[in-house]
Amino acid sequence: MQTRTLGHTDITVVPLMLGGNVFGWTIDEAASFEVLDAFVARGLNFIDTADVYSRWVPGNQGGESETILGKWFKARGTREKIVLATKVGMDLGDRKEGLKAKYIVEAVEASLKRLQTDHIDLYQSHKDDESTPLDETLEAYQKLIAEGKVRAIGASNYTGARLREALRVSKDKGLPSYETLQPEYNLYDRKGYETDLEPVAEEFGLGVVPYFSLASGFLTGKYKTREDAKGAKRESRVDKYFDARGEKILRALGEVAEETGAKEASVALAWLLARPSITAPIASATSPGQLEALAAAVELTLDAAAVKKLDEASAY
């Protein structure tokens, strides 16, 4: 199975990142364990979560996803098989938010406890915090790396300009650099990444791990029409994709899936993996069956004609 490295690190991953946002949200602990077991059985090794997952669920406080992962690590003894990524910075209530040094040092300890581990492989700034000097944030990460609690750092939800500035500060002050970028990017949502962020990622050799890789399920083949999405948990997110361009993308996706014998989800992820700047797309699964289509993308290589068809259908 193919592997790639994260930015300039020696961290090797199979190029599919399992999204942990569903753990403790759309699936409970038992179902999460089933997905995680199937994930490892397929030879995959890269998992993404965040301390805020899944605070938006009534009755949750945040940390539910990390807690489930921690229990799974302990029950299965799988921690050393996994490249573990989590994030800090989103609002957890009680003034727990942002990227100030004092808060990062506190937040990482809470994450480590929930995850039942002594280190995080990739610790990511979940969103930019313009109220905190970039060097303050990076100095906090430097401390965590020196202590062995974090191996590498990444950025999510930054603009190209702010990401470039953070990388400049790292170089000028001898501080750790962001090795990865986590942007929104998929066949439909292309323009923001390709015009603003990709040039920075390529210039600095960042690993790119895009979220919403399947456009909240729109690109899985599950929804052929707007009516198909009625009543779905993600109806409000999926609805915006059902315009003329979105329907054109679905037709092309269906054609390539038929030509290759692969699922639409596999094709959508393989299109991302065919782009040189992409390291590993993030996708979530709520059952072992869904995971199969995601895992298949790692071994699916689209030919030039298929890539061109999808490029043209999704042109902006």
Helix (H) or strand (E) holding 74: helix 64-76
CA distance linking residue 106 with residue 187, whole number of Å:
38
3-state SS, one letter per residue, for 7-34: CCCCCEECCCEEEHHHECCCECHHHHHH
CA–CA gap between residue 91 and residue 58 (Å, rounded): 15
Neighbouring C-beta atoms of residue 275, cutoff 10 Å: 17
Instruction: Name the residue among 316, 172, 307 with its Cα closest to residue 252.
Output: 307
Look up 193 and say whether it is catalytic: no
**What stretches of 181-243 show up as alpha helix (H) in DSSP?**
191-192, 198-204, 235-238
- How far is it, in rounded angstroms, from Cα 271 to Cα 268? 5
Question: For residue 152, how far is the Cα from the chain centroid?
Answer: 15
Maximal CA-CA distance, the chain: 54
Catalytic residue among 53, 158, 188, 193: 53
Buried b (16+ CB within 10 A) or exposed e, 61-81: ebbbbbbbbbbbbeeeebbee
259 CB-side CA count, 13 A: 16
- Positions marked catalytic: 53
